[in-house]
Structures are given as C-alpha cells and as structure tokens.
Amino acid sequence: MPSLLPFFRWCDETFVAVAVRKSVIAFPTIETFHLLALTLLFGSIAIQNLRLFGLLLKEQPISRVEKIFAPWTYGALVVMLSSGLLLFLSEAMKCYGSDPFWIKMGFLFLALVFHFTIYRKVVRSQDFRPALLKARLAATVSFALWISVGLAGRAIAFL
C-alpha cells in the first residue's frame, strides 16, 4: 500500500497550516468552534435517539422530531468537518503519528455511513412507533459511534 506520509507532509506545509501555526489565537479559536459545534451535533442527535428509545417527545412521530432537529445536526456537521480540517492541516504530521487520530477517522467514517443510511431510514419512518427493537438498536449504535468519535478526538491531545 502506498504511504500517505507525502500527503500528510504536503498538508502540514500548506499556506493555511502555516498560517494557523503562526497565529497564537487561530488554533484555540478554531477548536472552540469545533467544540461548540460538537455540543449541537451531540445535542440534536441525542434528542432524536432519546425519541427512538421512547424516552422523550413520545407524542410526536419520530419523522417529525427528525424534521425539526436534523437541520441542526447537518449544520453542526458542516462546522465540525470544516473546523476539523483546519485543525488537522495545522498539525498534520502530529496526526499522522497519532493512533487516536486514525481511530477517530475510522469511527467518523462509520458514524457518517451509518447516519446517512440505516439511521436516517429509521428516523424518517412514517410510523408513529417504528418497530421498537429496530428503533432502540439504531439509537444505541448511533450513540456508540458518535461517542467513540468524540473520545478518540479528545485522546489525540494525550496519546
């Protein structure tokens, strides 16, 4: 398999990467937006998952809860992915050697694929009560994947 090292080295030397590293406030400012968006992402997904568990907004159809909260999820995702890219560029060589970074990217890939396929199908179901087991299973997998992304992201700073 060809090494990704030259690509990471190129990322580390881009104009944006150098500019973020040179600035004292750029990294913490971008990371603040990364984490603010994280609260919106987790919050909006948690509300949908708790509805799938039947613990919240029980009188509302799941598809309606999705309609209200999904735009917040997507908006937060756009901010997370773009701010994450900027953080990554500024420390691409550190990320290359960081196990938690690779674990995070793996979980992020799985979380996005799951969210935009199976999960979306379940929450967009028109049934007032989609098969309880299916709904709970989708919520459990969703929680597990997004929490894993968050934990691995936090671990980048330590490992």
Interface residues toward ligand HEM, by CB under 6 A: 31, 34-35, 38, 41, 77, 80-81, 84-85, 87-88, 91, 95, 108, 149-150, 153-154, 156-157
Nearer to ligand HEM, 84 or 130 (CB): 84
Contacts for 114 with CB less than 8 Å, ≥ 6 apart: 141, 142, 145
Residue 82 Cβ vs ligand HEM, minimum distance, rounded to whole Å: 8
Residue 124 Cβ vs ligand HEM, minimum distance, rounded to whole Å: 21
HSE, CB side, 13 Å, CA atoms: give it for residue 151. 8
Nearer to ligand HEM, 38 or 123 (CB): 38
> How many Cβ atoms from other residues are within 10 Å of residue 6's Cβ?
9
Residue 57 Cβ vs ligand HEM, minimum distance, rounded to whole Å: 24
Contact between residue 123 and residue 62 where contact means Cβ atoms under 8 Å apart: yes
Residue 69, helix vs strand vs coil: helix
